[in-house]
C-alpha cells in the first residue's frame, strides 16, 4: 500500500513539474516574442524632424535593462510597448490631448525606474482639475514633456541615496503645467553635459507652435535644477479660431 502511495505521489509530482515547465516555456516564448517585436520597432524607429527628435539608442539601452531585470520584465515591456506606439503613431499627429500626453509621460517614467536604485527618491504627481473641457481635446503638441523628464534622469545621480527627482503634472483652467526638479549629480561627466540639445529643442518647438502662449522657466537652487513649463491652451485655441486655423 505504501508503495502504491509513493508511486501516486511520484506521478503527481512529475505531472506538476511538467505543468510548471510547460508554463515556463510558454512564458519564455511570450517574452521572446514581445522582446523581438519591440526590437524590430526600435530598429525601424527614425525620428529625424524637430517635432519628433529622439535617439533610438535610448530604447536599445532600455530593452537591455529590461532583459537583465527579469522580475520587472512584463510590466516594463508593456510600458515600453505603449511608449513606442505613441512615438511611432501618435507623435505623427500635429496635436494630441493633454490626457494622452500625460499617460505617455507616466509610461516613460515607469520605464526609467528600472535604472534607479531602490533608495532613490522619485516623486510623481498628477493634479487634474475635474471638468476641464480641453483635457481630452487634441490641442497639445505630442512629446512636449519628454525633454524635461529625460533631462532629469540624465543629470541626477540615480545611484545616490540622497538624490531625488520630482515630476508634477497639472491641468487647471485650461493650462498645462509640468514641473520637473532634480538634485544635480556631482559626477563630472554629467556636469559637463548639463546644457544639452534637448532643452534648446523644446524651447524652439514651443516658440514655433505656441508663440507667446507658454512660459518655460529653468533655474538652479541649492544644487537642485528646476524646470517649470506652463502652456495656456485656452488662449492658444482662441487665437487659432480667430486666425481660422
Tally the residues of the chain.
245
What domains are defined for the chain?
29-243 (3.30.565.10)
pLDDT > 50? residue 50: no
Sign of CA dihedral 197, 202, 204, 205: positive
User: Quick one: pLDDT at residue 193?
Assistant: 43
User: Looking at 22-36, 84-98, 167-181, 197-211, which range is the least confident one?
Assistant: 22-36
CA 116/CA 186 separation, integer angstroms? 16
User: Quick one: pLDDT at residue 191?
Assistant: 42
User: Looking at 31-45, 101-115, 129-143, which range is the least confident one?
Assistant: 31-45
CA 97/CA 135 separation, integer angstroms? 6
pLDDT > 80? residue 177: yes
Q: What integer best gives the mean pLDDT of the chain?
A: 76
DSSP H or E segment with residue 122:
strand 121-128
- Mind listing the pLDDT tens digit for each residue in 88-112? 777 778 899 999 999 999 988 988 8
Sign of CA dihedral 188, 189, 192, 193: negative
Task: Please give the radius of gyration of the chain, using alpha carbons only, rounded to the nearest integer.
Answer: 23
Percent of the chain having pLDDT more than 70?
Answer: 65
CA 143/CA 103 separation, integer angstroms? 11
DSSP H or E segment with residue 229:
strand 224-232
- Is the pTM above the cut of 0.75? no
Amino acid at each position: 500500500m505504501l508503495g502504491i502511495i509513493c508511486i501516486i505521489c511520484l506521478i503527481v509530482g512529475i505531472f506538476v513539474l511538467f505543468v510548471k515547465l510547460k508554463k515556463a516555456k510558454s512564458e519564455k516564448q511570450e517574452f521572446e516574442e514581445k522582446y523581438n517585436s519591440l526590437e524590430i520597432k526600435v530598429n525601424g524607429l527614425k525620428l529625424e524632424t524637430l517635432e519628433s527628435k529622439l535617439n533610438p539608442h535610448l530604447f536599445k539601452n532600455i530593452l537591455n535593462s529590461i532583459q537583465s531585470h527579469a522580475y520587472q520584465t512584463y510590466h516594463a515591456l508593456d510600458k515600453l510597448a505603449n511608449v513606442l506606439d505613441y512615438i511611432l503613431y501618435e507623435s505623427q499627429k500635429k496635436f494630441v490631448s493633454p490626457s494622452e500626453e500625460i499617460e505617455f509621460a507616466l509610461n516613460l517614467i515607469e520605464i526609467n525606474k528600472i535604472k534607479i536604485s531602490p533608495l532613490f527618491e522619485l516623486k510623481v504627481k498628477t493634479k487634474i482639475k475635474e471638468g476641464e473641457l480641453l483635457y481630452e481635446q487634441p490641442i497639445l503638441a505630442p512629446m512636449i514633456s519628454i525633454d524635461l523628464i529625460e533631462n532629469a534622469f540624465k543629470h541626477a545621480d540615480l545611484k545616490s541615496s540622497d538624490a531625488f527627482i520630482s515630476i508634477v503634472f497639472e491641468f487647471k483652467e485650461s493650462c498645462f503645467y509640468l514641473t520637473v526638479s532634480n538634485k544635480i549629480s556631482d559626477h563630472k561627466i554629467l556636469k559637463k553635459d548639463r546644457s544639452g540639445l534637448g532643452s534648446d529643442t523644446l524651447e524652439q518647438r514651443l516658440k514655433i507652435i505656441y508663440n507667446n502662449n507658454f512660459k518655460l522657466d529653468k533655474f538652479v537652487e541649492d544644487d537642485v535644477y528646476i524646470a517649470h513649463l506652463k502652456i495656456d491652451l485656452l488662449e492658444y485655441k482662441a487665437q487659432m479660431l480667430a486666425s481660422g486655423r
